[in-house]
Structure 1
């Protein structure tokens, strides 16, 4: 297990270091500089609030290629009918807070701590993270946020207060940026994202996209 020094921003090289569970390192801090450096290496933080900071680079990696996006007939109708109004970067912090507060099946509590909220908001202020907001009228009913690495978008979390809201935001992101992003990083498998076309690729293949 690699223990990080809080006073030095460094990580083991995920191309060389291959832990079976994908846990690359433990410790360090959640400074904007460290988080941004981690994402450029294909590493992301994910941990329980009561635990030390855990840094991951899983193998395989769950991703979605924009040209493999699947949209159901019912979802196409929802989009066509204009059920939702979608914006970008209007209220990043509020989207992130909702992602942390929304109740999820089989999940007790949240991994989005106040420190993470502050760090990712700073990343957003620096133009390195973005949010997509989904509205019904003037009410925020869904959204997502993630880190923008140029040709790769690393999705962090999404929330939905009404049926299909987060899905609509995710589809909007992919269709709006299909000529910019080579790949959408979904990190780990979920049935929800698999239904939209996400699939596993090797860690090495994912890291090759980051090299671009």
Structure 2
């Protein structure tokens, strides 16, 4: 199962919930040999899976039980994954800089270079706008929406963190032809970047759950 998400879209929590429900491994591995796309320069500096892939990487992108990556909708990527069953997770791109701000403020992530010197949520937004990151986030969302076809399910952050979560989970299971998992609650998850495998941070689980609801 391939999940492609805009950063800060609660995709980690959503895919972790799905992985636990169906007892599959969830990974975020990427190829260090794939190139960074020139039109996603800032985003590729923050998220290493934001790359322009070729046919050489198709097995890597679609292999495994559940893979979650920030794959941008470049022409190469859209064509490469056209026949691949996938789920794209988006959110209002204007809300993403604020989510980065809250994440770094709560020490869940080191401040990305593009936000160096930014102290407030408004500063983060201005930095994203000035650097071109905001435009890249918008392009990410609109690009995948434009490329949507019968193999692509698009879901939104606002539904993941709402009381519509259960319906969303069932829709996703149906898209991937999975057995219904029954009633589930949204789980928390964080990246362990050394291995690319996502694991819950148990001692911070409650703190992280509150944080996800806020962003």
Structure with greater proportional helix content: 2
Greater relative CO (CA pairs within 8 A, separation 6+): 2
What TM-score results when the alignment is normalised by the length of structure 2?
0.31
What TM-score results when the alignment is normalised by the length of structure 1?
0.31
